[in-house]
Structure 1
């Protein structure tokens, strides 16, 4: 059964453009991607659709695509399993004029096409319908009648075709593929033999591109799990560090714990002791049009290596103040004036006023979990609570990113059997969440995340790469 366009989210905005000069590009959320060259327009179409299938696989859902080529334009639905549905297709006006007058306009029926690109399947026993005679993934061009001899008088009746200058360009936006820099391919490149990057390196480059973008308006990420010890604070630190490092966007990590949070303990302390309560008290001044942007430094703690700021929770010894929903609104208004990205740590009480108001401001939900049963169950209950509330909360739960970290207990024992059990358990939990959220990412154990201040450069290369993939999965939801 096909998918109706209303069932497919309209973001990100994707366009596939094939030109008659032998070039093509896929534009995702305003970012152009090169389409490998082909020997024909149809091969360019197939190559463009292969890139779009990759985008659908990254998002783990179907995507809508506007297509444009020399023969016409229309809309497709592209699925992660390589199926393509044609929603609409309209031939270009120039092609219509070239058709014989007695030929009626051709209507392309919606059709689901399998793998793109792939070898042709075995012929089916049943006769093909008119909509499936041409098995190309792009809608087939209208059939043209066999030209008949025409007299000079008939030729004179057909006006010459004039193209608008708006329909062409001498600029080609296809970027040059940079040579390999990693592995043996990178070694050969440095020795003077240019090598194309491997699939692993291309995937890493795509993750870097994803986290390096700037989005219009601020974005708020909430990191939540109702169970303590689920890796919330390390997740906040790592996402903030990677997004700040690669995008260069002003980023703040905000400890929105209803009691004394630990974000301030795991990050660098500035030259002052101010917290979120001090920022709220100074909100009138900070929101004044005459206030300099640098004034925010009086209230946040800058991370000198990882390039983001930290807004600490209240740490007074009495602990006699709990942040209210109205105070969350005030703090969020201040922070989104000074920062493009706000990453919020949270407490363990989904019923708390500050927790619920945090969710109201959230654009992307992240649920960290260590590979331990009770942490995983708490994560499931957190998502279930949000889903049951409906509306914005339920949409956040469906679009969530779950980050599964391997248990530290097995690593401490250094037992081979324990290590295997830890990896198997992490995989089991990841597979369990996969059908219910947008993305699941696994993180290997790293001692640099266990105790003390957390810094990106202290992580092992495999851990850095895993966190980059996690940050890319989060940024894809913006």
Structure 2
């Protein structure tokens, strides 16, 4: 039996009405109006009572949605208490009633010719139930405990977010790869790569690689954290044989990538200080790097370069299972994205499939670019599998790319992008 630390209110809910027992033991009926939720009404009235009493009140509700236990404050704040405390306490029994009950038991025992010695043979216990129960998979993370308990219904936006979170938390058998591509520079490829990687790593538990697949001064390394080693893709290529050896350990790859301490993904850097002639990769070299990446990571996000004729660019497309095309709210970057889709549709069957199932990300470059954004979104609608808008956020324009630095609307939008990107993997 638990001991109440605060005055306790007990509410038994039946449909749209309830019987509420106050701390003084008096009960009264409460009925909800057609436009009210009975549970919200009970919480509101309990908060009013707590404000009048000058102390929080414990509230226990029971009914068709189970038994729930809360601590309600006078300012309207509500705290969920542990489930183990959720059973209503039995009402106290008066001493005279307890004595009468015990006397009745003794008379009954004597009438049957037995003394109440407690030595009677014990009945057979019921079949034992296992203490171990299977844990079912979570279909979607909860939006909030009030919504979970049915006291407040989630909004359509909260429902959608819950579905996105469930999608980006999944794992797949084998490595998957996503190509972030647009032939024009400065359209948000690096930003998109980092944000997708951050969402997938934070929700899915790491083992995500953001790969700067760029011949010409890739900036992914500039906008992300540098790790312990000043390593680039060339260093990883030189160590590929050791990393692919049977006795290689999972931690061996750490000296060649740069871990993001909060966003939890790793970055494989290019060297922005070298000319393109010193950074080109052949098809064979790219394939070796991809074998290493697939061994150590479950997801690879490619930040592509701008040269769509480069061997490493074409091989990236061949290895990718999903295409994401970023564009800003400008006609030039949107046209470049559309031309890339046209070219992929004509390249081969696999590239045409990537184009048809692509996700286009339209980032609002300036706070006032609402009309241009709508025009670009409408232009891509029906051409690809999904088009997602990213609202203007100053944290995306320059400097370090960190998911927590974004405003709430932008974080939610990038969650949507990542969910769309992995929905068909």
Larger radius of gyration: 2
C-alpha distance in 1 between matches for 2:213 and 2:140: 43
User: What is the CA distance between 1:202 and its match in structure 2?
Assistant: 1.4
SS in 2 for 1:334: helix
Q: Following TM superposition, by how much is the alpha carbon of 1:196 offset from its aligned partner in structure 2, in angstroms? A: 3.0
Alignment of 1:122-133 (within 5 A): none
Q: 1:452 aligns with which of 399, 407, 412?
A: 399
Task: List alignment gaps of at least 5 residues for structure 2.
Answer: 1-133
Superposition pairs of residues 253-402 of structure 1, within 5 angstroms: 253-317=210-274, 319-321=276-278, 322-402=280-360
2:231–2:257 contact (8 Å) kept in structure 1: yes
- Over 3 Å counting, the alpha-carbon distance change for 1:177 and 1:279 in structure 2 is closer
Q: Distance in 2 between matches of 1:365 and 1:178?
A: 27
Q: 2:413 aligns with which of 459, 463, 466?
A: 466
User: Which deviates more, 216-225 or 318-327?
Assistant: 318-327
Residue 316 to residue 390, structure 1, CA distance change in 2 (3 Å): same
Give deviations 1:137-158, integer Å, cap 9, x for gaps: xxxxxxxxxxxxxxxxxxxxxx
Change (3 A) 1:175 1:390: closer
Q: Which residue in 2 is equivalent to 1:90?
A: none
What secondary structure is seen at the aligned counterpart in 2 of 1:255?
Answer: strand
Measured in 1, the distance between the counterparts of 2:352 and 2:392 equals 31
Once the two structures are superposed, the pairs formed by residues 79-478 of structure 1 within 5 Å of their partners are 181=144, 194-317=151-274, 319-321=276-278, 322-408=280-366, 411=367, 419=368, 422-478=369-425
Residue deviations 1:79-133 (CA, integer Å, cap 9, x gap) = xxxxxxxxxxxxxxxxxxxxxxxxxxxxxxxxxxxxxxxxxxxxxxxxxxxxxxx
- Distance change >3 Å, CA 407–CA 335, structure 1 → 2: same
Question: Which residue number corresponds to residue 91 of structure 1?
Answer: none
Structure 1 residues 370 and 232, CA gap change in structure 2 (3 angstroms): same
CA contact (8 A) 1:401 1:438 kept: yes
Structure 2 distance, partners of 1:323, 1:315, is 15
- C-alpha contact (below 8 Å) 1:180/1:195 kept by paired residues: no
What SS does the aligned partner of 1:221 have? strand
State the Cα deviation string for residues 223-255 of structure 1 (Å, max 9, x = none).
000111110000000000000000114000000
Report deviation, 1:390.
Answer: 2.3
The aligned residue for residue 17 of structure 2 is none
Change in Cα spacing, 1:304 to 1:295, as seen in structure 2 (3 Å) is: same
Partner of 1:79: none
How far residue 199 of structure 1 moved from its aligned partner, in angstroms, is 2.1
How big is the shift at 1:315?
Answer: 3.8
CA contact (8 A) 1:179 1:195 kept: no
**Do the aligned partners of 1:260 and 1:315 also contact (CA within 8 Å) in 2?**
yes
Determine the C-alpha separation between the residues in 1 that align with 2:138 and 2:260: 34
Cα distance, 1:266–1:219 mapped onto 2, change above 3 Å: same
| 2: CA distance, partners of 1:178 / 1:449 | 27
Contact 2:212 2:269 in 1 (8 A): yes
Aligned pair count reads 291
Residues 296 and 425 of structure 1: CA distance in aligned 2, closer, same or farther (over 3 Å): same
Cα distance, 1:213–1:174 mapped onto 2, change above 3 Å: closer
Measured on the aligned residues, the alpha-carbon RMSD in Å equals 2.2
Q: CA separation of 1:298/1:205 partners in 2, compared to 1, >3 Å: closer, same or farther?
A: same
**CA shift digits 1:368-393 (9 cap, x unpaired):** 00010000000001111111112111
SS in 2 for 1:222: strand
Deviations 1:401-437 (A, max 9, x none): 00000123xx3xxxxxxx2xx1111111011111110
Normalised by the length of structure 2, the TM-score is: 0.65
Shift of 1:319: 4.9
Quote the Cα distance in structure 2 between the aligned partners of 1:296 and 1:428: 44
User: Residues 298 and 460 from structure 1, CA distance in 2 versus in 1: closer, same or farther, beyond 3 angstroms?
Assistant: same
Measured in 1, the distance between the counterparts of 2:253 and 2:141 equals 40
Are the structure 2 counterparts of residues 232 and 180 from structure 1 closer, same or farther at C-alpha, using a change threshold of 3 Å? closer
